[in-house]
Chain A
Amino acid sequence: MQTRDVVFIALFAAIIAALAVFPPITLPVIAVPITAQSLGVMLAGGILGAKRGGLAVLLLLVLVAIGLPLLSGGRGGFGVFLGPTAGYLAGWVVAAFLIGYLTERNWTRLNYVLAFLFCVVGGVVALYAIGVPWSAYVAKVSLAAAFTGSMPFVPGDIVKALIAAAVIMIVKRSYPIIGARA
């Protein structure tokens, strides 16, 4: 891990924090508003790779824990890690790492469809695999109920994966970080 990697981690954590002020966009078909912050998590993995992407998300969570209101809606502080949706925050680290790992492994043959699939595997499948059981446990509801309750957010996350994959491909062409070794 070089100084350059540390700077990428710090600045990408800052990007995810800045995305909290992104205006939430409500899609016409589904009523749930889309916030850009979890899109930033997908980008962290797909642009920085596994290690740096995961650490960028972890750094953001450390700053949130020490009282900076950096999550969307101005949420912050220790409380967010004790609330019912804390599992999704923990899942963000895993999601960024997993997306980064898959992207690194397939870097030379990466295309839009693959990037989208990786974002779905990390940012939807892995994320919900951690977030849903967590909420079920702390809120004392059955797994099935927690799963049903989180379903309305899935279409929004799929849309985010579509957008994230496009950004990942454009950045791969214009300013690649993973493939280029300085």
Chain B
Amino acid sequence: MLTDLYVTGDSPVHRTRPVIKIAALIVLCTSLFAFEGRESLLISAVIVTAGFALAGLKARHAWQSLRPALWILIAIFAVQVYLADLALAAFVVSRFAVLILAAALVTLTTTTSQFVDGIGAALKHAPAWVPKARIALAISLCIRFIPLIRNTFGEVRQAQRARGLERNFLALLVPLVVRTLKSADEISQAIYARSFD
């Protein structure tokens, strides 16, 4: 199964179209860097907090989005305190936190299929030289095949564990890559056979 980061809900934030959410995110991020200062950071923090509350997201969700970046943020904080002062360190790290949380707000309230539909809708207005059908095919193929390739990888790992090679990168990677390339050839033949072009 391929799970996304979506948190189910029916708030105004959830119902906003993905295009508008992304546009709002871009505006927020740009203004954080364009109008650099405590005021813009504070305003953005208030907006993001309000968004989290409006979307019915818990502090747990905010923590989950920040956790992967935590160690790097701590490292940056330490370097800034050492090189500059506490104020700049706090500013830089809280700006990252606001940026990451703002992005998480979009990610947590939008399903992957909404995004894919959004990309499809955006492609409709794209100029003729953009290979729309191929982009759509690539995205849907990849989403479909990630669970399958994870399975393949699991099989290869078990097979190599039986040989005592589960720590050998080559023994794991080469079968995974060759098997995937072979199935790619089979899939493209199946697509040709169905006259996709």
Q: Which of A17, A43, A145, A163 contacts B146 (CB 8 A)?
A: A17
Q: What's the nearest-Cβ distance from chain A to residue B19, in Å?
A: 12
Residue B149 lies at the interface, judged by CB distance under 8 Å to chain A: yes
Interchain CA distance A60-B139 in the complex, whole Å = 9
Residue A7 lies at the interface, judged by CB distance under 8 Å to chain B: yes
Residue A28 lies at the interface, judged by CB distance under 8 Å to chain B: no
Binding site for B on A (CB under 8 A): 1, 3-4, 6-15, 17-19, 21-22, 25, 36, 39, 43, 47, 55, 59-60, 62-63, 66-70, 73-85, 138-142, 145, 149, 163, 166-167, 170-171, 174-175, 177
A79 touching B153 by the CB < 8 A rule? no
30 contacts between A and B (CB under 8 A): A11-B145, A11-B180, A11-B187, A12-B180, A13-B142, A14-B142, A14-B145, A17-B142, A59-B142, A63-B142, A66-B112, A66-B116, A67-B4, A69-B4, A77-B5, A77-B65, A77-B103, A77-B104, A77-B107, A78-B107, A79-B69, A79-B104, A80-B68, A82-B29, A82-B99, A83-B69, A84-B96, A139-B92, A149-B75, A174-B174
Residue B178 lies at the interface, judged by CB distance under 8 Å to chain A: yes
Q: What's the nearest-Cβ distance from chain B to residue A168, in Å?
A: 9
Considering the complex, which residues of chain B in the window 1-26 have a beta carbon less than 8 Å from any beta carbon of chain A?
Answer: 2-6, 22, 25
A15 touching B180 by the CB < 8 A rule? yes
Q: What's the nearest-Cβ distance from chain A to residue B23, in Å?
A: 12
Residue B100 lies at the interface, judged by CB distance under 8 Å to chain A: yes
Q: In the complex, what residues of A have CB within 8 A of residue B165's CB? A: none
B173 touching A18 by the CB < 8 A rule? no
Interchain CA distance A63-B152 in the complex, whole Å = 20
Additional pairs, 4, CB under 8 Å, beyond known A1-B131, A12-B180, A73-B68: A8-B184, A75-B68, A141-B83, A149-B79
Q: In the complex, what residues of A have CB within 8 A of residue B188's CB? A: 3-4, 6-8
Binding site for A on B (CB under 8 A): 2-6, 22, 25, 29, 65, 68-69, 72-73, 75-76, 79-80, 83-84, 88, 92, 96, 99-104, 106-108, 110-112, 115-116, 119, 131, 134, 137-139, 141-143, 145-146, 148-150, 152-153, 167, 169-170, 172-174, 176-178, 180-185, 187-188, 191-192, 196-197
Q: In the complex, what residues of A have CB within 8 A of residue B25's CB? A: 78
A21 touching B83 by the CB < 8 A rule? no
Q: A77-B104, A149-B79 are in contact. Are A63 and B68 (CB under 8 A)?
A: no
Q: A77-B107, A84-B76 are in contact. Are A6 and B146 (CB under 8 A)?
A: no
Identify whether the interface residues of A are mostly helix, strand, loop, or mixed.
helix
Q: A76-B5, A83-B100 are in contact. Are A7 and B191 (CB under 8 A)?
A: yes
B145 touching A10 by the CB < 8 A rule? yes
Q: What's the nearest-Cβ distance from chain B to residue A143, in Å?
A: 12
A79 touching B142 by the CB < 8 A rule? no
A163 touching B142 by the CB < 8 A rule? no
- Which of A18, A70, A79, A142 has the most C-beta atoms of chain B within 10 angstroms of its own C-beta? A79
Q: What's the nearest-Cβ distance from chain B to residue A139, in Å?
A: 5
A67 touching B115 by the CB < 8 A rule? yes
Q: In the complex, what residues of B have CB within 8 A of residue A60's CB? A: 142
A177 touching B181 by the CB < 8 A rule? yes
Q: A11-B184, A82-B29 are in contact. Are A68 and B138 (CB under 8 A)?
A: no
Q: What's the nearest-Cβ distance from chain B to residue A23, in Å?
A: 9
Interchain CA distance A1-B197 in the complex, whole Å = 12
A68 touching B103 by the CB < 8 A rule? no
Q: Which of B103, B181, B191 contacts A175 (CB 8 A)?
A: B181
